[in-house]
Structure 1
Amino acid sequence: MTLALPPGEFRAYLFDCDGTIADNMPLHFRAWQQALGEHGCELSEELFYAWGGRSVLDIIVDLNAAQGLDMPVPEVDRRREELYQELLPELTAVPEVVWHVEDGHGRVPMAVVSGGTREPVSLSLCTLGLLDRFDVLVCAGEYTRGKPDPECFLLAAAHLGVAPEHCLVFEDTDLGMQAAAAAGMAAVRVPPPWERTPSAALGNH
């Protein structure tokens, strides 16, 4: 699989992290399942991917409401992150996206714009040996409104000193694509794992 970029001369690349650079959504799903299961909560794979790009807080609050539970948000979040870090040795990158990271390195300024907090995002990028490729990280807690609001992408563009219309966004979620469009930026969609490696998930989707 190759990622076809939209036409145009782009002066900055903005990358989502989870599911875009890092092929870690299957690992996140396993961590979520175990952390939630310890509280008697269920999360289907379909819903997990449909909610891609949402904040951890919003997900836990909505699951509590939907399933009549009272899970403590900070505790579930800490446990989920702890379980995810245990799975990090299994982490791989999305090769087609890394190609563009390496191609752009030293040629155009690049940022990671994530709905995750800085520590786990940095840890994932360090694990993949890619942290030093990026000029800027914009992570949860550093902006007020999450995707699909364009704030995080506009903040990254401002940090890089590049006008939004000259930025290209790499994203794997509907919310991320909506945020890029709202920011006035071109975007390329990174397919989910089962579309990139169909044999790995035959029968699951």
Structure 2
Amino acid sequence: MTLPLPTGDFQAYLFDCDGTIVDSMPLHYTAWLRTLDEWGCAFPEDLFYAWAGLPTADIVATLNDRHGLAMPVEAVVARREALYQQLLPTATGIPDVLRHIDDAHGRIPFAVVSGSTRDSVTASLDALGLLDRFDVLVCAGDYTRPKPDPEPFLLAARLLGVPPQACLVFEDADLGIESATAAGMAAVRVPQPRRG
């Protein structure tokens, strides 16, 4: 079944990356577990999915606060990223989203709007051979207020030169849907693939 899109004359598609274009959330979670295990820090799966879209540095800082830990944020982010990169060759795309990318590529501009680092996003898109499809990448470090704030999506629209109300957002996470809505954009929720 193809992911249904809302009606409208959309002039740009804005995509979250992890869990939206790339079925990478299980890989990210594995990388988090392996990294945090080195520090004796628990990270329940439901919390991981609830925090989808938050920058990795914010996740480490929040886990430090919650657990009374002093994990070095930059070191933990770098370790998690290295472990994710090792797992990345096994990543696959989300079929319904890939079909929309194939169908609309060349007709309207695309952007990726992610809470992940630029290195992580480019590696994920490159692993699927999709990096050249995107006109703009907006990643952690490019904005000051992450999703659910509208800033990341508004920045992407501005960089593409498209009014926010003419953008369609593809998102799998609640924080991303909230961000898109706050930016005045229509959004399509991408369901997580079922795990057997």
Shorter-chain TM range is over 0.9
Question: Which residue matches 2:113?
Answer: 113
CA distance, structure 1, for counterparts of residue 62 and residue 136 of structure 2: 31
1: distance between equivalents of 2:7 and 2:55? Answer: 32
Tell me, what secondary structure is at the counterpart of 1:52? coil
Q: How many residues align?
A: 196
1:56 paired with 2:56, answer: yes
Aligned AA (1:144): T
Structure 2 unmatched runs, 5+ = none
Report how far residue 65 of structure 1 moved: 1.8
Verify: 1:182 aligned to 2:182, yes or no: yes
> When the two structures are superposed, what TM-score results if normalisation uses the length of structure 1?
0.93
Aligned to 1:83: 83
1:102-136 Cα offsets, whole Å, 9 max, x none, are 11100111111111111110111011000111111
Unmatched runs of 5 consecutive residues or more in structure 1: 195-199
How far apart are 1:20 and its partner, in Å?
0.4
**1:186-201 mapped onto 2 (5 Å cutoff):** 186-194=186-194, 200-201=195-196
Secondary structure in 2 matching 1:193: coil
Q: Which stretch has the larger CA shift, 24-33 or 138-147?
A: 138-147
**Counterparts in 2 of 1:2-41, with a 5 A limit?**
2-41=2-41
Percent identity at matched positions? 64
5 Å-filtered alignment, 1:141-156, equals 141-156=141-156
CA distance in 2: counterparts of 1:53 and 1:139, whole angstroms: 10
What's the CA shift for 1:188? 0.1
Which of structure 1's runs of 4+ aligned residues deviate more than 3 A? none
Structure 1 residues 11-38: Cα deviation after superposition (integer angstroms, max 9, x where no partner): 1000010110010000000000000000
Q: Residue in 1 aligned with 2:136? A: 136
Taking structure 2 as the reference length, the TM-score comes to: 0.97
Q: Aligned partners of 1:47 and 1:158: how far apart in 2?
A: 32
1:68 to partner: Cα distance: 2.0
In structure 1, distance between residues paired with 2:178 and 2:130: 26
CA–CA separation in structure 1 for the residues paired with 2:133 and 2:159: 16
Matched, 1:66 2:66: yes
Structure 2 counterpart of 1:42, which letter?
Answer: A
For residue 40 of structure 2, what is the amino acid of its counterpart?
Answer: G
User: For residue 197 of structure 1, what is the aligned residue in structure 2?
Assistant: none
Q: Which SS does the other structure have where 2:187 is aligned?
A: strand
How many Å apart are 1:173 and its aligned residue?
0.5
Amino acid across the alignment from 1:18: D
